[in-house]
A and B are shown apart, each in its own frame.
Chain A
Amino acid sequence: MKTIDQFRRKLNTEEDTRALGLEIAEALEPGDVVALIGDLGTGKTALTKYIAEGLGVTGEINSPTFTIVKEYRSGRLPLYHFDVYRLGSGEELLDIGAEEMLDGDGVCVIEWADIVADVLPDDAVAIQLEYGENEGERIAEFL
């Protein structure tokens, strides 16, 4: 990944989330892993949508919770969008054949990445999303 400044930022609107997503997308290089950590409803899928948009992915990006991973090849780089909410450990992620994708030609964005932290590469970029003080407000922090 190209250098991206450490940040802690308030996301007050959908537009703020989009701006962050596009910024991350621009810095992504083949083999990068973006680990998203945050509770239900903190905007992990929304941020992923905008990273995808920044990569030039066309078509709908929706939640991959049920199938764990969805693959998109219409952008600048292949995008593997994971949601490991239903998994119990990193080993289970490897069981579904994720190794090839983690170490591949594309970019992995992983929701609920804390569940599978033990098998993610050391240079994965971790971003934590939290609820802010006001309704609708989220805090995104580069860990």
Chain B
Amino acid sequence: MKDGRFLTLGIETSCDETAASVVADGRFVMSNVISSQIDIHTAYGGVVPEIASRKHLERINDVIGKALEDAEVSPKEIDLIGVTYGPGLVGALLIGVAAAKAMAYACDIPLVGVNHMHGHIAANYLEHNELEPPFMALIVSGGHTEIVNVPDYNKCEKLGGTRDDAAGEAFDKVARVIGLGYPGGPKIDKAAKEGDPDSIAFKRVYLEQGSLDFSFSGLKTQALNYLNQERQAGREINVNNVAASFQEAVVEVIADKAVMAAERYGQKRIVMAGGVASNSRLRALMEEKAGSRGIDVLKPSPVLCTDNGAMIASAAYYAYRSGVKPDLELDAVPGLEF
């Protein structure tokens, strides 16, 4: 405790990022340290993931140390530690879990494990201090495209997900083949602003009537077929038009299904989460489609959309408050479900 506020340290190492953060009362970010180095990725002209366990190991103590320092708190003022224990890469997860356990044991602080996906949803509690469940959540990132009903702080019901590629992955792959490079999401977003979304008729994939699942693999193939066909015909490819048309086909389906889910469950709010939630066209379309049906759309700022420790701290705080028992025997679960 510090100045009467309950302090949670959140630790996240499930994939590319080594991250730690101190959050007060589950809502207020006091520090948020993310060791991502997007400039290194760009320098290599491709994706160089920092998923290696030893990379997390090299950084974890510094990242936690800096999170405490930035928040101007000492370890003994921390009331709770939350750490991502899945889903993710086992070697990467283990580093965060081991560091969290060591600190919890040494400083006698309760420790709770957090589902990474619950963390993405909790990012919205940090952004919107008045937000409380129930609501519908849309998680869109490089690894996930999921619609989740959130009836209470510690309850998440997955209603639909991708059957093949995640939305962010489709963006990355198509960006690569049209020569936009990495990171694909922001690059396509930018190029699309200069293009015509109706110039190429990519088919929207809605799957079975009423389904809340997604499939983006076929759309990726449609884009590849279009490029091959144009090249073979000797026509010049308008990259901006491809980006705009492709993006529109992805985000339209996402927005339609998120709104359909909210209506089906009678939710008046949709909260967005994950890296692709930063996509400007998805944000605009969500507001348009949801707005016309009287549904509010909430979005976290870009820094809280990516993997970070603050969202893990917030999710840990609410898990602890709703009675989840602290566990020093916590283990990583790479295939953790909702």
Residue ranges of A at the interface with B (Cβ–Cβ < 8 Å): 39-41, 45-46, 60, 62-63, 65-73, 85-88, 92, 95-97, 131, 135
Interface of chain B residues 293 through 338 with chain A (CB within 8 A): 334-335
CA A96 to CA B55, docked complex, whole Å = 10
CA A40 to CA B53, docked complex, whole Å = 28
Is B169 touching A66 in the complex (CB atoms < 8 A)?
yes
For residue B220, which residue of chain A has the nearest CB? A41
Is B162 touching A41 in the complex (CB atoms < 8 A)?
no
Contact partners of B225 in chain A: CB under 8 A: 41, 135
Contact partners of B163 in chain A: CB under 8 A: 60, 62
Apart from the given pairs A40-B220, A66-B142, 16 other A-B contacts in the complex at a CB distance below 8 Å: A40-B224, A41-B220, A46-B164, A63-B162, A63-B169, A65-B165, A66-B141, A67-B14, A67-B88, A68-B49, A71-B334, A73-B335, A88-B46, A96-B53, A96-B89, A97-B90
Contact partners of B168 in chain A: CB under 8 A: 66
CA A87 to CA B44, docked complex, whole Å = 12
Smallest CB separation, B260 vs chain A (Å): 20
Question: Given A46-B217, A86-B47, A88-B46: A67 and B15 within 8 A (CB)?
Answer: yes
Q: How large is the interface on B (under 10, 10 to 19, 20 to 34, 35 or more residues)?
A: 35 or more
CA A70 to CA B161, docked complex, whole Å = 16
8 closest A-B pairs by beta carbon, nearest first, are A66-B143, A95-B52, A41-B221, A97-B91, A86-B47, A66-B142, A41-B224, A63-B165
A-B contact count (CB 8 A): 85
Smallest CB separation, A30 vs chain B (Å): 19
For residue B216, which residue of chain A has the nearest CB? A63
Contact partners of A62 in chain B: CB under 8 A: 161-166
Q: Is B87's CB within 8 Å of the partner chain A?
A: yes
Question: Given A40-B177, A60-B161, A71-B334: A65 and B51 within 8 A (CB)?
Answer: no
For residue A83, which residue of chain B has the nearest CB? B169
Contact partners of A39 in chain B: CB under 8 A: 224
Residue ranges of B at the interface with A (Cβ–Cβ < 8 Å): 14-15, 44, 46-49, 51-54, 87-92, 141-144, 161-166, 168-169, 173, 177, 217, 220-221, 224-225, 228, 334-335
- 27 A-B pairs whose Cβ atoms sit less than 8 Å apart in the complex: A40-B173, A40-B220, A41-B220, A41-B221, A45-B165, A45-B217, A62-B162, A63-B164, A65-B142, A66-B142, A66-B166, A67-B14, A67-B88, A67-B143, A68-B89, A71-B334, A71-B335, A85-B47, A87-B49, A92-B52, A95-B52, A95-B53, A95-B54, A96-B51, A96-B52, A96-B53, A97-B53
Smallest CB separation, A66 vs chain B (Å): 3
CA A71 to CA B173, docked complex, whole Å = 23
Residue with the highest number of chain B CB atoms closer than 10 Å, among A67, A69, A71: A67
Question: Given A69-B89, A135-B225: A86 and B161 within 8 A (CB)?
Answer: no
Contact partners of B47 in chain A: CB under 8 A: 85-86
Smallest CB separation, A112 vs chain B (Å): 11
CA A60 to CA B228, docked complex, whole Å = 31
Is A67 touching B166 in the complex (CB atoms < 8 A)?
no
Is B217 touching A68 in the complex (CB atoms < 8 A)?
no
For residue B144, which residue of chain A has the nearest CB? A66
Is B87 touching A67 in the complex (CB atoms < 8 A)?
yes
Contact partners of A60 in chain B: CB under 8 A: 161, 163
For residue B224, which residue of chain A has the nearest CB? A41
Smallest CB separation, B169 vs chain A (Å): 5
Contact partners of B49 in chain A: CB under 8 A: 68, 86-87
Is A67 touching B89 in the complex (CB atoms < 8 A)?
yes
Contact partners of B48 in chain A: CB under 8 A: 88
Smallest CB separation, A70 vs chain B (Å): 7
CA A41 to CA B174, docked complex, whole Å = 10
Contact partners of B15 in chain A: CB under 8 A: 66-67
Contact partners of A73 in chain B: CB under 8 A: 335
For residue B47, which residue of chain A has the nearest CB? A86
Smallest CB separation, A83 vs chain B (Å): 9
Contact partners of A85 in chain B: CB under 8 A: 47, 173
For residue B214, which residue of chain A has the nearest CB? A62
Contact partners of A46 in chain B: CB under 8 A: 164, 217
CA A103 to CA B88, docked complex, whole Å = 21
CA A73 to CA B335, docked complex, whole Å = 10
CA A40 to CA B334, docked complex, whole Å = 26
Contact partners of B164 in chain A: CB under 8 A: 45-46, 62-63
CA A39 to CA B224, docked complex, whole Å = 10
